[in-house]
Structure 1
Amino acid sequence: MKSIYSKLIFGFFITIVASFSVAGFVSLRLNDQQIESTVEEDLITTNDYVSKVISNINIENRDDIIDLYAKSSEMAITCYSNSEGYVAYGNKKYNPTPEQMMAMFKSTNNELSFKHHNEVLAYGTKNMINGQEYYIYVQKDTSGQKSAIANSAILILGCVFLTGSIVFLVIADIIVKPLTRLTNAIKELSNGNYNVRVDNVGQDEISKLNQGFNQMARQLAKQDETRQKFISDISHEFQTPLTSIQGFANILKEEDLPKEQRVKYANIILYNSKRLSSLAKNMLQLTLLDREEIELELTNYSLVEQMNRVISTQENQAMEKNIEIVFEMPKKEIFIEGDEQRLEQVWTNIISNAIKYTNEGGLITITMKKNSKDIEVSIEDTGIGMSKEVVSHIFERFYREDKARNVEGNGLGLAIVKSIVDLHHGKIDILSQVDVGTNFIVRLPIEKQKLIERLKR
């Protein structure tokens, strides 16, 4: 049984057979006992009735009355006495022989109740009637009643089984069909069709399963699109410096090149090799940041000191473009719990980007403050700014605005920034206006810092 449909049918069949067998056995046993109890009461009543008829000497046609009663009640009545001998009434099939009646007459002193062949119930008593001893033996066949009950039970169980089977097949079909569609959809998905979807009407478990599948398919489609774009972007990013390196390496093979040109071409090769190295390094870092099991090396340190250190490393780059970096230091020292090395890369990447996209003579302003729930760091420049469309894609890998293509970079810096801030459960907001400037606002939660401060007290 490979399919769930066959398993459901087999399970239903086993359940029905087992439950009907137990229910049928118990009900038939109870009915048999009830029938036998009722028949025993009838036998005692009949025995008393026959005794009264015999004792009434004024009744004419006594034998006809008893015989009619025996036939109407479907009983066999047998009487024996020394004066009247052996007399049988009703169904002669069950009447004992004269010899048997004589033996029971002689041996019986008390009431006797017993069965013959498990279906015929018998009741015999010795009574003193009009000064004579009479042995009255009454029998009744219960097989007809038991058969009628059994046949009715079988008919009922058959109807229940047939109706239940039809209902179960309909229900099984309702259950199995969505699973079959889901199975086919999974096959399509495994073959690379990420646009496949299944119906998810309702709120039952199967509908929720279909919803989960559709959500997974959408995520896979998005991941596949991202993967394709990533491959295209990375191919482009690698191809440009590689082409440059190959071209100028071939030129350097010429022996009659002047020294100045050799140095120039060698510097170009060195520059492009550094680009490739930086690209590979950033890609490796993004891969590490994407791993769910990555653990931050959390320490409690001065954010002001860290920012001063980052600014000092970027000053030369800013001075080349005559850009001023202003750090509005807070009145009080601000300590933060975080991965110091990775957060330093966040400030470095944002400030470096601000310098790249700010024209000569521009200004970069850095502020920080501590709020009740978070620490806010603002890095604002007077650069070329960005449109809303660009802002919505700015953290995507390899994304670069067309007018910024001539600026050195590979479009991975801000993706790294976003990943690091997310790992710290922080948030980045961007306020930007074209040809006016951009403001990156980083907010990092301080719940853990408050706990550390309490422990230090």
Structure 2
Amino acid sequence: MKKCLRLRKRKNLYLRLVGSYIFFIFLVGLIFVGTLLELMHITDHFYDEVDYTSLTMEQLGAMQAQIDRIIAISFAMMVLSFLLLAVIFSIVMGRRIRREEREVEAARQKMLADISHDLKTPITVIQGYSKAIVDGMVSEEHMDKYLNTIYQKSNRLADLINEFYQYSRLEHPEFQLTMEPGDLSEYVREYVAGKYEELEVAGYELDVDIPEQPIYMPFDHVELCRVFENIITNTIRHNAPPTTIFVGMEFLREKHQVRIRLGDDGEGIPEEIREHIFEPFVVGDESRNSKHGTGLGLSVAKRVVTAHGGKIRLLPTTETSWSTMYEIILPMNRGNL
């Protein structure tokens, strides 16, 4: 995962370096062309002012020597300008590279710290409870409770590892979607139907608005399901029953796009993290400490949607009556990736 993070950061840095070098070459070209034009202007003006018929050979030679000196001085000034520009460019780019490297290292350290934090809690519980059983400190009366806790924490540990794996897989440069044609309306409808019983048993309510008309388009049937699952799982994790979960879909005919919205009328998302909600490991303190959210689910969702050529955003509260509403825009003419 950290290797993929470094690759992505370095790729962005290299693109900025290439752009800076192109700009540098452009400036050099402007100076060169400007110097040539100025020399042509000076020499033309000089020759226009002179009456050659009245000049001796010595005077013509002196005049030519003066023109040569002007050209030499102009060329030297042009070279000095190039060198000065190169020095300034090297200093600026050196500072930028060092700053980028510090940012990459800081991001790597934060990612490692977050991963260690998320893995440490279930591992600590498993180790403590299993040691208590091995040491014979647990009575038969409490044995089932201890074993059940170990089982739950091991499942949580497996979920965490899976989330980290999915995130690192999407970050890999060779990752590609498996695009297959299908009816997106029916696909979303079947997904909601499959979640209905689970949500109903948990005490949540569903509000669904999916068009009856078929909407045929290519999409990755596995990864798009992961997007819906991550968003709804995030909703359940942060909101208690009887929160209503909304799933809506609309065909934007003029734009040849499909708009999917998933939201809820729960507690909402704190303002301090709304702007960064799709960045990896962005979660509220309560989530990380008590509900064990990794903050990777929405980051994975964004990467999948982006790979489809689409966009995902968290709607401002001024644009919706729901506490939280995610909007996904997918193009219908996206070919195989």
Flag whether TM exceeds 0.5 (same fold): yes
1:383 to 254, 260, 266: 266
The aligned residue for residue 19 of structure 1 is none
Q: 1:409 aligns with which of 293, 298, 316?
A: 293
Question: 1:360 Cα deviation (Å)?
Answer: 1.6
Q: How much is the aligned-residue C-alpha RMSD, in angstroms? A: 3.1
Q: 1:179 to 1:297 in 2, by over 3 A?
A: same
Supply the distance in 2 between the matched residues of 1:365 and 1:189 (Cα, whole angstroms). Answer: 45
Corresponding residue of 2:71: 164
- Label 1:380 to 1:182 Cα distance change in 2 as closer, same or farther (>3 A): same
Q: Spell out, residue by residue over 1:137-190, the C-alpha distance to the aligned partner (whole angstroms, 9 max, x if none).
A: xxxxxxxxxxx95x7676556544544333322221211122123334555566
Residue of structure 1 in register with 2:14 after alignment: none
Residue 281 of structure 2 corresponds to which residue in structure 1? 398
Alignment gaps of 5+ in structure 1: 1-147, 195-216, 450-457
Provide the C-alpha distance between the structure 1 equivalents of 2:298 and 2:262, rounded to a whole number of angstroms: 14
Q: Classify 1:172/1:259 alpha carbon distance in 2 versus 1 (closer, same or farther; 3 Å).
A: farther
**Conservation of the 8 A alpha-carbon contact between 2:249 and 2:261:** yes
Partner residue, 1:335: 216
* Counterpart in the other structure of 1:177: 84
Alignment correspondent of 2:30? none
Cross-structure match for 1:447: 333
Instruction: Give the alignment partner of residue 287 of structure 1, picking from 163, 168, 184.
Output: 168
| Structure-2 change in CA distance of 1:337 and 1:172 (3 Å) | same
Quote the residue 2:148 is aligned against. 267
CA contact (8 A) 1:421 1:427 kept: yes
Q: What TM-score do the two structures reach when normalised by structure 2?
A: 0.70
Structure 1, residues 17-66: CA drift from partner, whole Å, max 9, x if none? xxxxxxxxxxxxxxxxxxxxxxxxxxxxxxxxxxxxxxxxxxxxxxxxxx
Q: Secondary structure at the match of 2:293?
A: coil
Cα 1:240–1:433 shift into 2, 3 Å? farther
Unpaired runs of at least 5, structure 2: 1-55
1:303-362 alpha-carbon deviations (Å, 9 max, x no partner): 233224433443454234311223334232233321111111111111222222332222
Alpha-carbon distance in 1 for matches of 2:307, 2:322: 31
Could you tell me which residue of structure 1 aligns to residue 202 of structure 2?
A: 321
TM-score (norm. length: structure 1)? 0.53
**2 CA distance for matches of 1:436 and 1:404?**
21
* Code of the aligned partner of 2:272: E
Counterpart AA for 2:282: Y
Shift of 1:267: 3.1
Please give the alpha-carbon distance, in whole angstroms, between the structure 2 residues aligned to 1:263 and 1:437: 40
Question: More helix per residue: 1 or 2?
Answer: 2
Supply the AA of the counterpart residue of 1:370.
F
What's the counterpart of residue 231 of structure 1? 112
Q: Normalized per residue, which structure has more strand? A: 1
2:308–2:334 contact (8 Å) kept in structure 1: no
CA-CA distance at 1:428 after TM superposition: 1.9
Within a 5 Å distance, the mapping from 1:338-349 to structure 2 comes to 338-349=219-230
Give the aligned partner of residue 82 of structure 1: none
Q: Deviations over 1:384-416 (max 9, x none)?
A: 112333221111111112344433421111101
Shift in Å, 1:258: 1.8
SS across alignment from 2:326: strand
User: Which amino acid is 1:386 matched to?
Assistant: I
Aligned mates of 1:237, 1:347 — CA distance in 2: 23
Change (3 A) 1:391 1:324: same
Q: Which structure: larger Rg?
A: 1
Letter in 1 for 2:118: E
Secondary structure at 1:385 match in 2 = coil
* 1:438 partnered with 2:324: yes
Match of 1:422 in 2: 306
2:207·2:244 contact (CA, 8 Å) conserved in 1? yes
Which 10-residue stretch deviates more, 356-365 or 334-343?
Answer: 356-365
Q: Which has the higher contact order (CA 8 A, sep 6+)?
A: 2
CA distance 1:432–1:266, shift in 2 (3 Å)? farther
Structure 1 residues 239 and 158: CA distance shift in structure 2, 3 A: farther
C-alpha distance in 1 between matches for 2:64 and 2:151: 90
1:369 positional shift:
1.9
Q: Confirm or deny: 8 A CA contact 2:210 2:249 kept in the other structure.
A: yes
Mapped contact 1:366–1:378 kept (Cα < 8 A): yes
User: Is residue 385–residue 433 contact of structure 1 (8 Å, CA) maintained in 2?
Assistant: no
